[in-house]
Every structure is written in structure tokens, then in C-alpha cells.
């Protein structure tokens, strides 16, 4: 299975000579996807991966397929439970057909609050539901590919109607491959049982992956092969995801290290990922971070990610050092790897999701309102904050912000060294500490898909 071999004591043994395929993590933004796709293919990347955040990845990958000819087009991941199996089947088949058979369908379950409260869809027994979900999608695809009657009935889904008018044409390359993402052994078992591959979460250490997750994958895959499941004639792949902080200068590296630490802190505060920390004996860290996240203390949380925790989940250094570390850590453990740089803030990111947050906005719109602070601090005052950072391309950028807290509005101005930069901002929080009002601002700038994140703290005596 992939590059993992079993020894007599059932522990994985690495084959460090195995080739480590590299996936390009593409921007899912409509304005950037074509450039991302062309760049990835021209640099010899094996696969372009687009996740589902603010845009539908199938739509963006279909556009990318028109701009490329050989690179695979993968969702990494699409939210399975936000769709019925039939809806997913149509979307993936359309991408597969449009790309000439280059589609790879990476699926994830998301978590209950998003499925129920954001998508308005049912949630129960996610691993069992996902197993049946993939079986249902495969049944639909089999009907389209072979022309046989569709008749799928399960505990969660039933698909029993498919007339010729609604059946797409067969695809010469055959149905797409399906990969399942997971963190724990149950979803890992689901991947081994019904999928063509497993996608590990970025918050997965090699120890957790090889000691807990992959044994469950191997056992389920072996049973599927013994049962003669038709999809098991294709090699099974294990996809790794790793967060990295790198830079050509010390300043740039420090900025990216901070961003990755904060992303790790966010993951570590999530109850669904506690088992990963427990594997290392760091369960108490989850308790502390979760309590801080409930209070919206996102920026302070990154300070709790020490070097030992960081090194278990992410890599850092110069580009050359990062490349060596990645190969030493993952060669022989995964078949392919997606490398993630400093995280991009989004509307749903922890840095903008606290109760005190305003929405991200683009320059030129009317000012957003911040959450008003205590009454005694609402007199007329203003403060200028200057913060700067260096992009991953080595360019310096300076940003300034002006707050008028008497009106609870934020006005931002930017002094940029490169006019190609697009920038966004959010008022993250406001508080009075020891008689000093503090406004903490999160700002981000992007250039050609490169992203940096800044925090500025404005104070008034």
C-alpha cells in the first residue's frame, strides 16, 4: 500500500528511496486560479490541489483544466456532507470530463457545526456515513460508465432513479479516484475500506500518522482487497500535508513562524483534534488553548506552541533546510505531499471569528464598525499604528491604520512599496487593560498568491 511496508511486528518500515510526489496547493480564488494552475504545471508539479473555503473547488478546477494539459486537478478537500452523493457525483464527473480524465476527488467530512448550522445538512455517525457516501457515489458513476440500472439503497442514502436524459457520457479514463481525509482511526478505516487514498490533516504528526492512523488504513484496505473490491486494482496513495515556515531573511522567517504557530494553536484548541495531542502527552495543552479560544484570545495562543510542539507538526528554516527536513520526515511514510506556507486569513479564520470581529472588507467600501468598548473609553481619540513585514518574495511592505474610536469606526490607510499589493483588514478586538485601551488589528496583503499577516496594537493612555 503506497510506500508503507509491514514488518513482522506490524510496525511501518520506511522506504526512503521511494519517490515523493509533490502537490501544488492552488488558490481557489477566481482571479488567481489560472495563474496558479499554469505556474504549477510549468514547474513540473504532479497535481494541483484546491480546497473548499470561500469558493466551489470544482468550478475553479474546471477553469484551471482549460488552462493546463497534464497536471492532475484535485479537490483537497471538498466537503462531502454539504452535498448529496448525487450532487457530488455530477460535479466530479463534470470536472473529470472537462479535464480529460485528470480529476481526483478529495473528500472531507468537516465538523458538525458547519454541516448542520452552515450547510443545513444532517450529521450523525460521520465515519459510517462517509463510507456509505463513497459507495453511493461509486454506484452512480458505475451506472453512468456502464449504462447499468442505478439501484443503491443504504442506511443514509438511496439513489434508485437515473434516466438516459440525465446520465452523462462515459469517460474514457474511467471514473475519478476518491481520496478521504481524516484524523482519527475511524475515518482512516473508512478511507482504507472504500477510497483510493487517504489524506492526512496538517495537524498530524508522523508519530500519530504511523502509529495510529495508517495501521487502521492498512487493515481496512487489506480487507477490501481480500473481498475483491474493483477499485483496489489501483495503487492506494497516502497524501501528507505539512505546514512550513521559511524565509530568505531572519525577519521574514520570524513572521512566517508566528503565523504557523498561530495556525497550530488553532488546530490544537479544536476538540476534534485532541487525540493527536494526547498521543504525545500534550492533552493539557489542548485544555489551555481551548479555554483561550472561547475567550477570543487568538493572538496569545500561538505563544503556547513551543519548539517541541512545533517540530512535531511543522517544519521551519531556509527553503533548502525545509526541503531536506520534509524529505527526511515524510519519504517512505506518504506517497505524495502538499506543502503549505504561512496561512491565509479568511472570513472564517480564527483571527476574524471572535465576537469582537468586524468582517474583512476591501478598500473603497464604507468603513466597517468595530464592537464598541466600555463606555468610559468611547470619548474622542485617535491613534496611528504602523506595522511592517517582509513578504515571502523578499519585498518590504509598510502598513498604517487610523482608528477613530469615538465613532467606533476604523479607517485604514496603506503606504505600500509595491502597487501590485491587494490588502484587507479586520478589527480583531478592543479592550481596556490597566486604564489603557488597546485595539488589535489583523491585516493581510497578497501578491501573486503569497500572503503575509500582520498584527498592530494601538494604545491610548
Q: Do 227 and 254 share a domain, yes or no?
A: no
Q: Considering only 30-39, 146-155, 242-251, 361-370, which range has the smallest mean pLDDT? A: 361-370
Q: Which domain holds residue 281?
A: 250-309
Quick check: 348 and 298 in contact, CB under 8 A?
no
Candidates 244, 243, 246; CA nearest to 392 is: 246
Please give the mean pLDDT across all residues of the chain: 78
Residue 323 has pLDDT above 60, yes or no: yes
Q: Do 56 and 73 share a domain, yes or no?
A: yes
Cell numbers at 219, concatenated? 487493515
Beta bridge partners of residue 179, listed in sequence order: 106, 197
510526489: which residue's cell? Answer: 21
Quick check: 314 and 260 in contact, CB under 8 A?
yes
345 found inside a domain: no
| Rounded Cα–Cα distance for residues 193 and 299 (Å) | 40
Q: Do 386 and 241 share a domain, yes or no?
A: no
Assign 15 a pLDDT band (cuts: 50, 70, 90): low
Quick check: 51 and 57 in contact, CB under 8 A?
yes
Q: Do 191 and 256 share a domain, yes or no?
A: no
Cell numbers at 30, concatenated? 477566481
Quick check: 264 and 305 in contact, CB under 8 A?
yes
Residue 427 has pLDDT above 70, yes or no: no
517544519: which residue's cell? Answer: 315
Candidates 299, 203, 318; CA nearest to 259 is: 299
145 found inside a domain: yes
Q: Do 176 and 45 share a domain, yes or no?
A: yes
Q: Do 283 and 360 share a domain, yes or no?
A: no
209 found inside a domain: yes
**What is the dihedral angle through the alpha carbons of 353, 354, 357, 361, rounded to the nearest 10 degrees?**
-10
Candidates 343, 294, 299; CA nearest to 439 is: 299
Q: Do 116 and 69 share a domain, yes or no?
A: yes
444 found inside a domain: yes
| Rounded Cα–Cα distance for residues 277 and 207 (Å) | 11
Quick check: 30 and 60 in contact, CB under 8 A?
yes
Assign 286 a pLDDT band (cuts: 50, 70, 90): very high
Assign 17 a pLDDT band (cuts: 50, 70, 90): low
Non-local (6+) Cβ contacts of 2 within 8 A are 235, 236, 237, 238, 334, 335
Q: Considering only 86-90, 195-199, 342-346, which range has the smallest mean pLDDT? A: 342-346
CATH code, domain with 227:
3.20.20.30
Is residue 4 packed enough to be buried (19+ CB in 10 Å), middle (13-18) or exposed (0-12)? buried
Q: Do 118 and 148 share a domain, yes or no?
A: yes
Half-sphere exposure of 332 (CA within 13 A, CB side): 11
79 found inside a domain: yes
195 found inside a domain: yes
| Rounded Cα–Cα distance for residues 279 and 211 (Å) | 9
346 vs 362, more confident = 346
407 found inside a domain: yes
For β-strands 314-317 and 237-246, DSSP reports them as parallel
| Rounded Cα–Cα distance for residues 408 and 378 (Å) | 8
Half-sphere exposure of 134 (CA within 13 A, CB side): 28
Candidates 76, 51, 39; CA nearest to 177 is: 76
pLDDT at residue 88, rounded to an integer: 98
DSSP result, 282-339: -HHHHHHHHHHHHTT-HHHHGGG--HHHHHHHEEEESHHHHHHHHHHHHBTTBSEEEE
* Average pLDDT estimate for 281-297: 95
Quick check: 201 and 182 in contact, CB under 8 A?
yes
Assign 93 a pLDDT band (cuts: 50, 70, 90): very high
Backbone angles phi, psi at 332, to 5 degrees: 85, -10
Using left for φ > 0, alpha for ψ between -120 and 50, and beta otherwise, residue 101 falls in left
Assign 28 a pLDDT band (cuts: 50, 70, 90): confident
Domain count, the chain: 3
Q: Do 187 and 259 share a domain, yes or no?
A: no
Q: Considering only 280-294, 316-330, 400-414, which range has the smallest mean pLDDT? A: 400-414
| pLDDT (tens digit per residue) in 187-214 | 999 999 999 999 999 999 999 999 999 9
Assign 19 a pLDDT band (cuts: 50, 70, 90): confident
* Average pLDDT estimate for 392-421: 32
386 found inside a domain: yes
Cell numbers at 104, concatenated? 481526483
| pLDDT (tens digit per residue) in 97-138 | 999 999 999 999 998 999 999 999 999 999 999 999 999 999
Q: Do 33 and 83 share a domain, yes or no?
A: yes
For β-strands 382-390 and 396-404, DSSP reports them as antiparallel
* Average pLDDT estimate for 250-273: 93
Non-local (6+) Cβ contacts of 310 within 8 A are 257, 260, 261, 264, 316
Q: Do 28 and 173 share a domain, yes or no?
A: yes
Q: Do 255 and 325 share a domain, yes or no?
A: no
Cell numbers at 174, concatenated? 474511467
pLDDT at residue 27, rounded to an integer: 83
Cell numbers at 21, concatenated? 510526489
Q: Quick one: the chain helix, strand, coil %, rounded to 5? A: 40, 25, 35
Candidates 228, 287, 246; CA nearest to 452 is: 246
Half-sphere exposure of 322 (CA within 13 A, CB side): 19
pLDDT at residue 308, rounded to an integer: 97
Assign 87 a pLDDT band (cuts: 50, 70, 90): very high
Half-sphere exposure of 161 (CA within 13 A, CB side): 1
| Rounded Cα–Cα distance for residues 189 and 441 (Å) | 43
Q: How many degrees, rounded to 5, is the angle at CA 285 between CA 283 and CA 286?
A: 70
Amino acid at each position: 500500500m503506497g510506500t508503507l511496508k509491514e514488518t513482522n511486528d506490524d510496525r511501518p518500515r520506511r522506504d526512503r528511496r521511494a519517490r515523493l510526489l509533490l502537490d501544488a496547493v492552488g488558490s481557489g480564488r477566481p482571479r488567481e486560479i489560472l495563474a496558479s494552475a499554469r505556474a504549477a504545471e510549468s514547474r513540473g508539479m504532479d497535481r494541483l490541489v484546491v480546497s473548499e473555503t470561500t469558493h466551489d473547488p470544482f468550478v475553479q478546477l474546471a477553469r484551471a483544466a482549460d488552462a493546463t494539459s497534464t497536471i492532475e486537478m484535485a479537490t483537497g478537500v471538498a466537503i462531502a456532507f454539504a452535498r448529496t452523493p448525487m450532487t457530488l457525483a455530477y460535479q466530479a464527473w463534470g470536472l473529470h470530463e472537462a479535464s480529460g480524465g485528470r480529476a481526483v476527488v478529495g473528500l472531507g467530512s468537516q465538523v458538525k457545526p458547519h454541516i448542520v448550522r452552515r450547510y443545513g445538512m444532517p450529521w450523525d455517525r460521520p465515519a459510517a456515513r462517509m463510507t456509505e457516501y463513497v459507495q453511493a457515489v461509486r454506484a452512480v458513476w458505475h451506472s453512468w460508465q456502464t449504462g447499468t440500472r442505478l439501484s443503491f439503497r443504504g442506511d443514509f442514502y438511496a439513489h434508485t432513479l437515473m434516466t438516459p436524459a440525465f446520465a452523462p457520457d462515459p469517460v474514457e479514463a474511467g471514473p475519478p479516484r476518491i481520496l478521504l481525509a481524516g484524523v482519527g482511526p475511524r475515518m482512516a478505516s473508512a478511507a482504507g475500506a472504500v477510497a483510493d487514498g487517504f489524506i492526512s490533516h496538517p495537524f498530524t504528526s508522523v508519530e500519530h500518522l504511523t502509529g495510529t492512523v495508517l495501521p487502521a488504513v492498512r487493515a481496512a484496505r487489506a480487507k477490501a482487497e481480500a473481498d475483491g473490491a474493483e477499485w483496489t486494482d489501483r495503487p492506494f496513495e497516502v497524501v501528507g500535508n505539512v505546514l512550513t515556515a521559511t524565509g530568505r531573511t531572519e525577519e521574514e522567517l520570524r513572521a512566517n513562524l508566528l503565523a504557523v504557530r498561530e495556525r497550530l494553536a488553532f488546530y490544537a484548541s479544536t476538540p476534534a483534534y485532541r487525540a493527536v495531542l494526547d498521543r504525545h502527552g500534550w492533552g493539557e495543552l489542548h485544555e489551555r488553548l481551548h479555554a483561550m479560544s472561547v475567550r477570543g484570545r487568538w493572538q496569545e495562543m500561538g505563544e503556547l506552541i513551543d519548539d517541541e510542539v512545533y517540530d512535531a507538526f511543522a517544519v521551519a528554516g531556509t527553503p533548502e533546510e525545509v526541503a531536506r527536513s520534509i524529505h527526511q520526515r515524510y519519504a517512505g511514510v506518504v506517497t505524495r505531499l502538499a506543502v503549505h506556507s504561512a496561512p491565509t486569513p479568511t472570513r472564517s479564520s480564527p483571527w476574524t471569528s471572535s465576537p469582537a470581529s468586524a468582517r474583512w472588507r476591501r478598500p473603497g467600501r464604507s468603513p466597517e464598525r468595530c464592537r464598541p468598548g466600555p463606555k468610559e473609553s468611547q470619548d474622542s481619540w485617535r491613534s496611528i499604528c504602523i506595522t511592517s513585514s517582509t513578504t515571502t518574495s523578499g519585498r518590504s511592505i509598510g502598513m498604517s491604520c487610523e482608528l477613530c474610536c469615538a465613532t467606533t469606526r476604523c479607517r485604514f490607510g496603506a503606504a505600500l512599496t509595491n502597487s501590485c499589493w491587494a490588502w484587507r483588514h479586520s478589527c480583531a478586538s478592543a479592550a481596556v487593560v490597566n486604564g489603557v485601551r488597546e485595539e488589535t488589528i489583523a491585516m493581510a496583503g497578497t501578491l501573486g498568491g503569497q500572503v503575509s499577516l500582520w498584527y498592530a496594537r494601538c494604545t491610548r493612555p
